[in-house]
Homo-oligomer: A and B are copies of this chain.
Amino acid sequence: MSASIGVIGAGLVGSGWTIVFARAGHTVRAYDSNGDIRASLRDRVAANLESLQEYGLVDDAQSILARVEVVDSLGEAVDEVSYVQESVLERTDVKRELYETIDGIVGAEVPVGSSSSGIPASAFTEGLRRAANYLVAHPVNPPYLHPLVELVPSPLTDPATVDRVHGLMEDVGQIPIRVNGEVEGFILNRLQGAMLREAWALFEEGYANAADIDRTVKHGLGLRWSFMGPFETIDLNAPGGVRDYAQRLGGLYLSIARDRTDPKPWSDELISRVESERRGTLDLDDLPVRCSWRDRRLMALAAHKASAESGESDGSGSSR
C-alpha cells in the first residue's frame, strides 16, 4: 500500500493536488483551517474526477475518491505521512505562521513542498528546525492537467530533500524540474513574463491588436510548444542544430532585445485598452463559462498527448 500524503490548504490548488496524489494510489489526508472548504472538498474533487473520467483521463473515479480523507486538524495531515504539499494563501505571514506550527510536528524524514508561485521558501522557513525539509513545489493549475512542477529549494533545503520530492513527483506522474536558486518568478513565470512583456509592448505600440497577438501564439508558436520546449524547437530548426540556429538568428534576436531595454509599468490607460478589446470579445459575466471551456480543452489536450506519447521516450534528457 502506498504511503499517505498530507495536503494542507484545500482550496483550488490543494484540491488539485489531492487529485494528483489520490489518482496515483496514495491515501491523501487533506486539511484546511476553513471548515467550509474542508466540508466542500470531497464534492469538488468528485466533480473534477467525473470530468476526468469522461475524457478517459482516470479509470475509476470512485476508488480515487475513496482514498481522500478530509481531516479536522493540522496534526492529522502531517502525522505519519511521507510528504506534505502545502497550498495555503500566497502571503508570507500566513505561510510563515503555518510553517512555525508544523515545524514542531513534522517528522525528520518528511519533505514539505509549498505551492507558492512567487514567495521563495527562505522567506517563510528561515531559522526553523526542519528548514532542510522545506522547499517550493510550484504547480501549474490545475496540477492534474499540467504535469509541470517547479522544485525550488531555499539555501537551507537539503539536496536530498529535492531528490526525494523529484522522485515522488515522477512517481505520481508529474514532471518535476529543478530550479537552482530562488530566482524571482522561478522559471515558468519568468518565461511567461518575457512573452507577456513583448505582447503588451507590441499592443501598446499599435503593431497588432490583442486578438491577433493571441492568434500568433495559438495558431503558430504554441503548437510546437505544446510538445517541445524552446531549446528543442530551435535545435530542430536549422540543419546544424542549435549552434547553426544561434549563429543564423542570434543577431536578429539581439537587435529585437535592444528595443526593450527600458521596461515600463503597464499603465492604467494601457490596461484599459487591452481590457476594452477583451471585454468586446468576452463579457465579464461569461468569463466562468469560458474558463470551463478552457478546462475542457485542457482535458482533451491531455488525452491527446497521452495517446501521442504512449510508447515514445521524452527525448529531452535528464532533469538535473
Asked if A263 is at the interface of the complex by the 8 Å CB criterion, the answer is yes
Do the beta carbons of A300 and B294 come within 8 Å of each other?
no
Residues of chain A in range 166-198 having any CB-CB distance to chain B below 8 Å: 175, 177-181, 183-185, 187-198
Q: How many copies does the complex hold?
A: 2
Residues of chain A in range 259-289 having any CB-CB distance to chain B below 8 Å: 259-266, 271-272, 274-275, 277-282, 284, 287
- Chain B residues with Cβ under 8 A from A47's Cβ? none
Give complex CA distance A256, B186 in Å. 10
Chain A 188-214 against B: per-residue CB contact (8 Å), 1 yes, 0 no?
A: 111111111111001101111111111
Give complex CA distance A262, B277 in Å. 32
Asked if A218 is at the interface of the complex by the 8 Å CB criterion, the answer is yes
- Chain B residues with Cβ under 8 A from A301's Cβ? 223, 226-227, 304, 308
Asked if A232 is at the interface of the complex by the 8 Å CB criterion, the answer is yes
Do the beta carbons of A258 and B252 come within 8 Å of each other?
no
Give complex CA distance A177, B185 in Å. 31
- Chain B residues with Cβ under 8 A from A179's Cβ? 207-208, 212
Asked if A215 is at the interface of the complex by the 8 Å CB criterion, the answer is yes
- One of B188, B275, B281, B317 near A216 (C-beta < 8 A): B188
Which of A22-30, A107-115, A126-134, A146-154 interfaces with chain B? A146-154
Chain A 290-320 against B: per-residue CB contact (8 Å), 1 yes, 0 no?
A: 1101100110111010001000100111111
Asked if A255 is at the interface of the complex by the 8 Å CB criterion, the answer is yes
- One of B177, B191, B224, B272 near A221 (C-beta < 8 A): B191
Asked if A222 is at the interface of the complex by the 8 Å CB criterion, the answer is yes
Asked if A243 is at the interface of the complex by the 8 Å CB criterion, the answer is yes
- Chain B residues with Cβ under 8 A from A217's Cβ? 191, 225, 228-230
- Chain B residues with Cβ under 8 A from A282's Cβ? 235, 315
Give complex CA distance A145, B226 in Å. 14
Q: Which 3 A-B pairs have the closest CB atoms?
A: A214-B229, A222-B225, A148-B220
